[in-house]
Amino acid sequence: MTPAAAAALRCPVCAGPLLPVGRSLRCPKGHSFDLAREGYANLLPIQKKHAADPGDGKEMVRARRAFLAAGYYRPLMEALAEICAALPHSHVVDAGCGEGSYDRFLFDALDSPDLVGFDLSKEAVRLAARLVPEGAFCVGGSFCAPVRDGWADLLLNIFSPFAGAEFRRMLRPGGHLVYAVPTARHLYGLKEILYATPYENEVRQTAYEGFSLMEERTAEGTLTLTGESVQQLFAMTPYYWNTPADGAARLAQCTALTTEIGFRFLVYQRL
């Protein structure tokens, strides 16, 4: 964790600034948080930890890493990078960063911004810190974000819960939020196998207090997957937990899958 990136973080106990001191982060009031071997810190307040091991589990996180590392979502990442490059991006926060694949891509594409990412999943943060050692990663939640007030020029939220008040707090006035949500037909081919009656994702326009919608852009494509990548896609999605046993059994017999993919990128400006 570099000092420049660590300077973005705040103490989860008193909200004071955190600074690296040896192998820990420490605030002026003496609250101290050890850095793991990979360089991340656990900044999730104990009262916000609603499970023994919150966030996505190891199986889901590792499936997502394998799938994204294979480049299947590269066109969507390229579209995201193009949007971000056109916005001020010296200080970037990824809320719900997952295992870091998007952050690695963006860090390289945006010419090395100061980057902070946090996620509830310890396993995801561990992998992200290893993949992007130039950034500052920590275990933390969007509704109790471990980032200083007004630090971010650009905040990313990719398929994660929308914590409007905390997003406004972290962004400087005039800063931008890029919110990625699925298109109506995203992964429809997967759902055709999993469900007797597949459904399209809801598409809606939502106004958020303290933000103004500046732009919407859609990136779409078609994937054809074979072998292990079919199961990796399934394992990295919420459908893994919400699919009837017969649907999962049908997918287990699949050796090939063709499906539409698509992200809607909603760009908001903090008022």
Tokens of 71: 């480049």
Phi, psi dihedral angles at 114 (to 5 degrees): -70, 125
Q: List strands edge to edge, sheet with 152-158.
A: 41-42, 136-139, 114-119, 91-95, 152-158, 171-182, 256-270, 211-226
CA 61 to chain centre: 12
Q: Is 227 annotated as a binding residue?
A: no
Report the alpha-carbon distance of residue 195 to residue 155 in Å, rounded: 35
Annotation-wise, does 91 bind a ligand?
no
Does the annotation place 100 within a ligand binding site?
yes
89 annotated among ligand-binding-site residues: no
Does 84 carry a binding-site annotation?
A: no
CA 230, CA 257: separation in Å to the nearest integer?
A: 7
Name the token pair of 81: 């990078």
In angstroms, the CA 113 to CA 5 distance is: 9
Place of tokens 């979502």: 73
Residue type, 158: I
Is 239 marked as a binding-site residue?
no
Residue pair 139/117 in contact (Cβ under 8 Å)? The answer is no
E strands in 89-210: 91-95, 114-119, 136-139, 152-158, 171-182
Q: Any known ligand binding at 11?
A: yes
Residue 254 labeled ligand binder: no
Determine the 3-state secondary structure of 80 from DSSP.
Answer: helix
Going by the annotation, the residues of the binding site are: 11, 14, 27, 31, 73, 99-100, 186
Going by the annotation, the residues of the binding site for S-adenosyl-L-methionine are: 73, 99-100, 186
Going by the annotation, the residues of the binding site for Zn(2+) are: 11, 14, 27, 31
